[in-house]
């Protein structure tokens, strides 16, 4: 009987370990198979999202099963895949991330048989790809000091000797630190990482960021004068966790008084928006990473101001890079042409131009290594100059340089400044490298598989997740200006094809299409997304890097805007 009880006890102890080991092995093999599929397809390797999916798959092995035998393998392969992405993109941040992941393996699993290999790989990246020979020396020397019996010892010693001149100051590769206790979400719960908002007296967007998906329920409570309570919107987020959030943050923008967040119970976070006055609100989720967006609208349209929007973040942990860049952006120029007063619409006061992708998101990558984020910014800057010269209106760029902006922030900027038009510039891509042409999109349900594929790529999600987005569009169409956006898209598409055909051969008209694009969701003005050319096509890639093409594309879009505005009598006939 004693032996039987002992056997049962051992089985109870070992069973969870066995399950964890099986889970780690299964996750690792799944990531490995995805990596093999990627390396066997030259076409797939052109798309960043395929590489990121592989990297994330390997990282999840280490993050979900940190005590398993596959955790160090997962980190090593994640770093290796990052280096593979760098070979395609040539983006230095990808090389830095690879080195950081190798370093992480060394610090987290110093006794791993892969530790000396990871340290050596990190050294090579610093030396060859990042041109930081001092950091490379530190890592080569660490291999020599820490792993004298390892198979990388001889190579590392040779390299350390060659780079000894760069050891000008005493410096050593940091020793692994003892892990500090962290407040982590209980199993199965998603952490509410923070809250961001953009606000003025006529429009406020609040975004809640999570580290995983979560179900939520939205409620509205009208004002109760007897109790002195203002109207409130509140969200109960199931499986939510947010122990370090500030409990109350003042907004005071005339529309939203404050935002409050707290753990409602052991597995629910409640976020409350205390309102001053409003006319309508919308709530919708976005994916990868999961976040919940609340748009609150006041009466009328946002006031036209001279300053670009400022990003605010909760809890207050110092302004992020986006806020700093937006603050440094020069105020838009005063209109050069006074638009005459009329009984109809006041005219084109302000246009927001969005350069697609940016920062850590390079977008699509051309056969010669051209990055979509670079060409879209150049086209956007050129278009800004031409619009100001043509209409004398204010033109705001969502980004002036190579920075990362979440998709929901781009539309929020346009809403906040009371833009009359929102135009997002992109370069198309297709696994079929012979595909070419120009097409223009507006927000709606995708009508075919090709449109769905473009929307999924620009949203950086899968087509399965795209289906989930289309379900919530039913509740968002009221403010989407569908008819006006369709008309604007038609005019821009027609002008693009007509004007570019004068200077270039093989300009294919792919038409006006509809799709559920994150960057257009929630826009309160006519908004379109322009796919200017296919960066995956060698002929069109060479055009996308040409200043002439940037100018011609900008001129075509300007003509499309003029035709649209003239049709709606937004511009006086004598202009």
Dihedral, 314, 316, 318, 322 alpha carbons, nearest 10: 20
Yes or no: say if 27 and 61 are a contact pair by the CB < 8 Å rule. Answer: yes
pLDDT of amino acid 344: 32
Cα separation, 308 vs 417, whole angstroms: 7
Question: What kind and span of H or E run contains 440?
Answer: strand 438-443
Phi, psi dihedral angles at 56 (to 5 degrees): -60, -40
Altogether, the residues listed in the chain come to a count of 575
pLDDT of amino acid 174: 66
48-57, 397-406, 416-425: which range is least confident on average? 48-57
Q: Say whether pLDDT at 435 is over 80.
A: yes
Average pLDDT over residues 31-38: 89
Q: Say whether pLDDT at 316 is over 70.
A: no
Q: DSSP class of residue 36?
A: H
Enter the tokens of residue 542.
């060479």
Q: Say whether pLDDT at 393 is over 50.
A: yes
Average pLDDT over residues 107-114: 89
Average pLDDT over residues 554-562: 96
The structure's pTM equals 0.55
Cα separation, 367 vs 534, whole angstroms: 11
Q: DSSP class of residue 339?
A: P
Structure confidence at residue 325 as a pLDDT band (50, 70, 90) = very low
Q: Say whether pLDDT at 408 is over 50.
A: yes
Yes or no: say if 534 and 454 are a contact pair by the CB < 8 Å rule. Answer: no
* Alpha helix ranges (H) inside 417-478: 449-459, 463-473
Phi, psi dihedral angles at 292 (to 5 degrees): -115, 130
Cα separation, 304 vs 334, whole angstroms: 12
Average pLDDT over residues 39-61: 86
3-state secondary structure of 191: strand
- To the nearest 10 degrees (0 to 180), the angle between helices 372-391 and 547-567 is 50
- Say what percent of the chain tops pLDDT 70: 74
**Burial degree of 323 (CB within 10 A; 0-12, 13-18, 19+):** middle
Residue 303: which of 419, 422, 206, 399 has the closest Cα? 419
Structure confidence at residue 322 as a pLDDT band (50, 70, 90) = very low
Q: pLDDT tens across 214-260, in order?
A: 888 888 888 877 777 788 899 888 765 555 555 566 777 778 888 88
Q: How far is CA 122 from the centre of its chain?
A: 27
Peptide bond into 190 cis (omega under 30): no
List Cβ neighbours of 85 (8 Å cut-off, separation of 6 or more).
48, 51, 52, 55, 91, 94
DSSP per-residue string spanning 368-388: T--BHHHHHHHHHHHHHHHHH
Yes or no: say if 429 and 539 are a contact pair by the CB < 8 Å rule. Answer: no
Cα separation, 330 vs 308, whole angstroms: 8
Cα separation, 429 vs 436, whole angstroms: 9
């Amino acid at each position: 009987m004693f032996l039987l009880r002992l056997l049962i006890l051992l089985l109870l102890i070992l069973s969870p370990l066995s399950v964890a080991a099986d889970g780690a092995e299964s996750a690792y093999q799944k990531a490995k198979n995805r990596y093999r599929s990627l390396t066997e397809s030259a076409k797939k390797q052109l798309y960043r999202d395929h590489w990121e999916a592989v990297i994330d798959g390997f990282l999840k092995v280490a993050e979900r099963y940190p005590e398993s035998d596959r955790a160090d393998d997962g980190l090593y392969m994640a770093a290796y895949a990052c280096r593979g992405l760098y070979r395609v993109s040539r983006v230095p941040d990808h090389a830095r991330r690879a080195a950081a992941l190798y370093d992480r393996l060394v610090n987290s699993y110093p006794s791993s048989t892969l530790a000396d290999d990871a340290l050596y790989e990190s050294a090579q990246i610093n030396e060859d790809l990042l041109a930081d020979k001092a950091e490379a020396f530190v890592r080569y020397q660490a291999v020599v000091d820490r792993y004298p019996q390892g198979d990388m010892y001889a190579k590392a010693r040779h390299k350390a000797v060659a780079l000894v001149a760069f050891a000008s100051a005493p410096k050593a590769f940091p020793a692994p630190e003892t892990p500090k206790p962290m407040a982590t979400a209980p199993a199965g719960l998603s952490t509410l990482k923070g809250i961001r908002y953009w606000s003025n007296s006529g429009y406020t967007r609040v975004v809640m960021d999570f580290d995983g998906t979560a179900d939520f329920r939205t409620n509205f409570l009208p004002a109760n004068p007897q109790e002195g309570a203002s109207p409130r919107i509140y969200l109960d987020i199931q499986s939510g966790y947010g122990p370090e959030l500030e409990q109350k943050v003042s907004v005071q923008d005339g529309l939203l008084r404050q935002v409050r967040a707290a753990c409602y119970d052991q597995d629910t976070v409640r976020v409350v928006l205390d309102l001053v006055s409003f006319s309508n609100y919308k709530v919708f989720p976005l994916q990868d990473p999961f976040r919940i967006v609340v748009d609150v609208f006041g009466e009328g349209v946002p006031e036209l101001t001279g300053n670009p929007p400022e990003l605010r973040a909760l809890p207050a942990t110092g302004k992020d890079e986006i806020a700093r860049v937006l603050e440094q952006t020069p105020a838009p120029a005063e209109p050069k042409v006074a638009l005459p007063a009329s009984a109809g619409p006041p005219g084109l006061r302000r246009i927001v131009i969005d350069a697609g992708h940016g920062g850590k998101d390079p977008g699509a990558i051309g056969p010669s290594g051209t990055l979509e984020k670079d060409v879209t910014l150049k086209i956007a800057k050129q278009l800004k100059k031409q619009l100001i010269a043509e209409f004398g209106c204010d033109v705001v760029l969502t980004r002036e340089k190579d920075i990362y902006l979440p998709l929901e922030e781009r539309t929020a900027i346009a809403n906040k400044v009371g833009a009359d038009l929102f135009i997002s510039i992109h370069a198309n891509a297709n696994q079929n490298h012979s595909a070419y042409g120009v097409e223009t999109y507006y927000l709606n349900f995708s009508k075919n598989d090709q449109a769905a594929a473009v929307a999924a790529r620009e949203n950086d999600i899968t087509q399965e997740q795209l289906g989930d987005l289309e379900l919530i569009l039913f509740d968002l169409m009221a403010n989407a200006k569908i008819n006006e956006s369709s008309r604007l898209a038609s005019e821009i598409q027609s002008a693009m094809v007509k004007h570019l055909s004068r200077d270039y051969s093989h300009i294919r008209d792919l038409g006006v299409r509809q799709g559920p694009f994150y960057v257009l969701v929630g826009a309160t003005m006519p908004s379109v997304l322009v796919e200017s050319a296919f960066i995956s096509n060698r002929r069109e890639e060479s055009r996308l890097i040409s200043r002439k093409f940037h100018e011609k594309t900008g001129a075509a879009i300007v003509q499309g805007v003029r035709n649209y505005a003239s049709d709606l009598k937004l511009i006086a006939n004598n202009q």
